Amino acid sequence: MTDTKCHACGAALAQREDLGGVVIPGVTGVDPGLLAYDAQPTHIKGPSPTQGLATGIIPAAAMGGPAGFAIIGGVVAVAAAEYLSARGPGGVETDPSTVGELGGVAQLALERLQREEHGTPGDAPDPNAPAPSSGTQAPER
């Protein structure tokens, strides 16, 4: 390191290699979990059936006509069958009726965007949502 001052603000830069054993994640040290992940071998199962057929899409599109359309339709059918037979998070099968629906963080982001468009503050609770239960119930009278 040859610079003694920051080019942007002019602050003096420390001229030492060690900070007395202080570890600053991402600056003076690497997270042990990342080191362990880096040490694991990469396991690639191989190309999917769709990847093997995908090379025929460009010539089929260039060919045009009914034959080209049939080839592209075949590749799409294989991709759809492969997608529907895939396992989701936790090994759960994909429900075909949920394909294309938003979920998780994407759904929350969409709801927040819609509230902001309608003039409702982004962090305000949805007035149509049921009230959260606190776990305790008031005594009945």
- List the domain boundaries for the chain: 49-87
Task: Give the pLDDT of residue 124.
Answer: 52
At residue 132 the predicted structure's pLDDT band, cuts being 50, 70 and 90, is: low
For the residues 116-127, what does the mean pLDDT come to? 64
The overall average pLDDT reported for the chain is: 74
Q: Write down the pLDDT at residue 83.
A: 78
User: 126 with 115: CB under 8 angstroms?
Assistant: yes
Q: Whole-structure pTM over 0.75, yes or no? A: no
Q: What is the mean pLDDT of residues 59-69?
A: 84
Q: Which residue has the higher pLDDT, 51 or 130?
A: 51
Cα gap 123→91, rounded to integer Å: 34
Residue 84 has pLDDT above 80, yes or no: no
Alpha-carbon gap, residue 92 to 99, rounded angstroms: 14
Rounded CA-CA distance 14/35 in Å is 27
